[in-house]
Structure 1
Amino acid sequence: MPEQHNIEYKQSWHDDYLKWVAGFANAQGGTIFIGVDDSGNVVHVPDFKNLMDLIPHKIKDLLGILVEVNLHERDGKHYIEIITPPYSIAISLRGRYYYRSGSTKMELTGHSLTEFLLKKSGKTWDDVLEPAATLEDIDGESVRTFLKDAQRAGRLPDVSGLSVPELLEKLRLSENGRLKRAAILLFGRDPGRFYPNIQVKMGRFGQDDADLRFQETAEGNLIRLLGEVSGQLNQKFLSKAIEFEGLQRVEKGEYPVAAIREMLLNALVHRSYLGSMVQIRVYDDRFSIWNEGTLPEGLSLEALRRQHPSRPRNPVIADVCFKGGYIDSWGRGTLKIMEACREAALPEPEMKEQDGGFLIILSKNQLTEEHLRRMGLSDRQLTAVSFAKEHGFIDNSHYQEINSIGKTTATEELRQLVGKGILVQTGKGRGSKYLLAK
């Protein structure tokens, strides 16, 4: 059996493998086999009697946990099985924390360690009390804006007559009169006084990152950012203004408002507030938003393209935004972005984890070389698309001629272009022509 996310093979014992034990204990548990090679073949452990006494004691003394250590024999060869259960508390080795992710053991440091320790304590970053904050740090106008939006959405129980402190308690944004971090991020007068890098940075570029034309930064609480960022985009960054109130409206020739709004909300609600600011880049042919924080454990990029469970990084903030009508609670955000792009006849958005964060890209024109390369087109296929742009069509003969290839290869590569939605085929047999998709 090959190594898996919860199985590790080692041919002999080394104390360094205590890191693997700690990693399993901090994740979903797992098993280490000592005396087994990477292919799962038993190679024998000559000092197995000594190790059967040494390993459990070392694990107990240095990690403070109990594991199951078993001795096995196959064809006269001995190997040891170390079964580590998952632990609800954080397990450290000499003050360092390790975690098993997939088939890799990693040391947790910085922001990752902070989030891990909070999770093990039953908390998330936004649910922690902010000792330096008082009610004076809450912006009343932002609260009133939220209440109006929540009333329109119909998701908030009756709060008429409640004072601001009572409302914050009801929204689980405070505890015994003390404010949580989520309260400052949602409604704070100056959240930047408490937490750095909560701004949204916007840049207008030409065709690439080397051509920066101008930039702006928006800052404030989440409620204010929603309005300020949309205003900045309209006034300075987008060639055609959009109305951010009407989610059903689709702007032809620009980007769909529903997609941009959902991208912005996802970035603000689900980002890691321990890292860098949200970054929006507007190019001649595409629009992107990047936020700090990779996908939650158990959620893949493939899952974002289908119905998937909601796993918010900041559940307190997400709950308040749901009650305000800003987001759903069903993990539909990426699906709504994809649907808006289809309705606007734009290419499917590109989503990926990059530089410790999550990046989503809308492309205005699917026929730009950069976008076509991102779709996986070969140099020959790019040449064919350029030919079709210039002449209005391409056929099999021209494809063979401009690329110096045979008919079979040309037919297959044209079929791929049709399958990707870049070309459409008209006619049959020798009379077939391939036109650019509308």
Structure 2
Amino acid sequence: MRESKQVEFKAQWNDEHLKTICAFANSEGGIIYIGVDDKGNPIGTTNIDKLLEDIPNKILSKLGVIADVDVEMLKGQEVIKIKVEKSEVPISYDGKFYIRTGSTIQQLSGNELVRFMLKKQRISWDSLPSEAGIDEVDIETIERFKRMAKKRLPEISDEDSIEKILKNLELIKEDKLTNAGLLLFGKKPQKYIHGAGARVGRFKTPTIILDTVDVSGNLFKQLDGLMEAIKKHLNVRFEIKGIEREDIWDYPLEAIREAVINALIHRDYLSLADIQIKIFDDKIWFYNPGKLPEEITIEMLKQDHASIPRNRHIAYVFFLAGLIEKWGSGTKRMVELCKEAGLPEPEFKEEGGFVVEFYKDIYTEEYLAKLGLNERQIRAVMYVKEKGRITNKEYQEICSVSKATATRDLTELVNMGIFSICGVGKRTLHYILMNQK
């Protein structure tokens, strides 16, 4: 045995262990063994009969928790096993709240404690009343929402009052706008909710900033402002398809818009950090101060997955407005749109918050390595990006390999859809990047 997130060893009982029991109850539950050293070796304990009576009573009186306390034989030694179930309500020890992180105990305070209490009580932060009254509502945004929501909310009427709409959407509580109501329809939510803004920067390098745009206002206005700030720094060309002209941007705008909406809906508004969007020559980096729910993994984001919105009232209003199709589909849609545009799949990461990265160039060394190309093949792709083409002989020379190896490597690149074959016969046969054809 060894210690883990849900197992802890104690050589002997001490009332301070109630803190560990509190942390287990507030997390996923766990087991404490009394009479086992920190290396997992059973050493036994004394006064077992008294402990079997005292420990459950102390747990109940101090924590209000009923734990399963029993004797277990480990390698010939009698030890006490305390099994703690996950509690559905917050548990405190001497007025303080603890959770289990890895094999350590963390005391909660500040916004972390607020998040914990809301989660335990199944309360969405955006449903709580704010300090703003209905006079803080931006009439223009409400009127815009009426127009946008008619398809999914046919009962909405142009004659409906602001108060009626907000009440129907559960965005008023105790005569105050809820946090969601303020963020969605407020004139200036940042007056009440600090850090509820966003920032777009154009970067030449991680330290050289060419332009910065701060975007504030309610979430509908932030969506517009962020998209305009991003488009300002993207290239666009056009293609004629049939008789229609189609604008082709560096990145599919629908995917970028999905990423912006995802950040606005799912960010942690208890954090003072802004949404940050950094535009580089070859990529766009989105940062949203809000980690994924425990039930959702990074791998699940590229597939159909359940939606567990942090701010469910905000998500619902965006759905009614037609800004999202269905909950849980946004990240998968980003992937599909990038693949359709011939770009690498966006990367999703957790780095202090939630990060999405879009790449302009599919032929980067990092991305090619992820596809499984060997170093020679990556070198050849970089060569073709610079020179425009490569022959079998050139491949042999730059990679110092035999003709057979060069042929095998090049054939793999063709089969993977990275290279195309051009020309006929030994003298004219060469390879180019697929999207150059």
TM-score band, normalised by shorter chain:
0.7 to 0.9
Q: What letter matches 1:124 in structure 2?
A: S
CA contact (8 A) 1:115 1:124 kept: no
1:91-148 Cα shifts (integer Å, max 9, x gaps): 1233432223566654433332211112223312111112x31111011110011111
Which aligned pairs between 1:216-365 and structure 2 lie closer than 5 A?
Answer: 216-234=213-231, 236-240=232-236, 251-275=247-271, 276-354=273-351, 356-365=352-361
1:373 and 1:367 map into 2 onto residues whose CA distance is 10
**Structure 2 letter corresponding to 1:159:** I
Q: AA paired with 2:56?
A: P
Q: CA-atom RMSD, angstroms?
A: 3.6
Q: Is the 8 A contact 2:29 2:84 kept in 1?
A: yes
Quick check: 2:237–2:249 contact (8 Å CA) kept in 1? no
Report the alpha carbon displacement of residue 368 of structure 1 after superposing the two structures with TM.
3.7
Deviation at 1:203?
0.3
Matched, 1:77 2:73: no
TM-score normalised by length of structure 1: 0.83
What residue number does 1:388 align with? 384
Specify the alignment match of 1:246 in structure 2. Answer: none
Matched to 1:139, the amino acid is D
Question: What is the DSSP-based 3-state SS (H/G/I as helix, E as strand, rest coil) of the residue aligned with 1:237?
Answer: coil
Partner of 1:245: none
1:26-105 equivalences under 5 Å are 26-35=26-35, 43-47=42-46, 49=48, 51-100=51-100, 105=105
Asked whether the 8 Å contact 1:289–1:359 carries over to 2, the reply is: yes
Any conservation in 2 of the 1:290–1:358 contact (CA below 8 Å)?
yes
CA contact (8 A) 1:11 1:37 kept: yes
Residue 390 to residue 318, structure 1, CA distance change in 2 (3 Å): closer
Looking at structure 2, the residues matched to 231 and 62 of structure 1 have their Cα atoms a distance apart, in angstroms, of 56
Instruction: Percent identity, please.
Output: 38
CA distance in 2, matches of 1:111, 1:250: 47
Q: CA deviation at 1:282?
A: 1.0
1:132-172 alpha-carbon deviations (Å, 9 max, x no partner) = 31111011110011111111xx2114122421111111001
- CA 1:412–1:57 in structure 2 vs 1: closer, same or farther (change >3 Å)? farther
Q: In the alignment, which residue of structure 2 is the partner of 1:181?
A: 179
Among 325, 350, 366, the residue aligned to 2:362: 366
Aligned length in residues: 422
Paired AA for residue 279 in structure 1: Q
> Which residues of structure 2 form unaligned runs of 5+?
239-244
Query: Residue 123 of structure 1 aligns to which amino acid in structure 2?
Result: I
Q: 1:330: how far off?
A: 3.2
For residues 140-151 of structure 1, the aligned pairs below 5 Å read: 140-151=139-150
Q: Aligned partners of 1:125, 1:25: CA distance in 2, in Å?
A: 23
Cα shift at 1:286:
1.1
Trace 1:186-225 onto structure 2 (pairs within 5 A).
Answer: 186-206=184-204, 208-225=205-222
Does the CA-based 8 Å contact 1:155-1:323 persist in structure 2? Answer: yes
Instruction: State the alpha-carbon separation in 2 of the partners of residues 419 and 53 from structure 1.
Output: 71
In the alignment, residue 73 of structure 1 is paired with which amino acid?
Answer: M
Alignment of 1:408-427 (within 5 A): 422=418
Alpha-carbon separation, structure 2, partners of 1:20 and 1:250: 62
Distance 1:37 1:426, change over 3 A: farther
Give distance in 1, aligned partners of 2:394 and 2:430: 10
SS state of the match for residue 248, structure 2? Answer: coil
Q: What displacement does 1:325 show?
A: 1.1
Deviations 1:229-271 (A, max 9, x none): 222333x3223399xxxxxx98535111110111010000110
Which amino acid is 1:313 matched to?
Answer: R
**8 A contact 2:4–2:103 mirrored in 1:** yes
The amino acid across from 1:237 in the alignment is H
Aligned to 2:126: 126
Amino acid at match of 1:171: L
Distance in structure 2 (CA, Å) of the matches to 1:419 and 1:183: 53
Whole-angstrom distance in 1 between the partners of 2:221 and 2:21: 46
| CA deviation profile, 1:18-62 (whole Å, cap 9, x unmatched) | 3432222112323333445789x6623233615434533443344
Matched, 1:8 2:7: yes
Gaps of 5+ in 1: 243-248
Q: CA deviation at 1:76?
A: 2.1
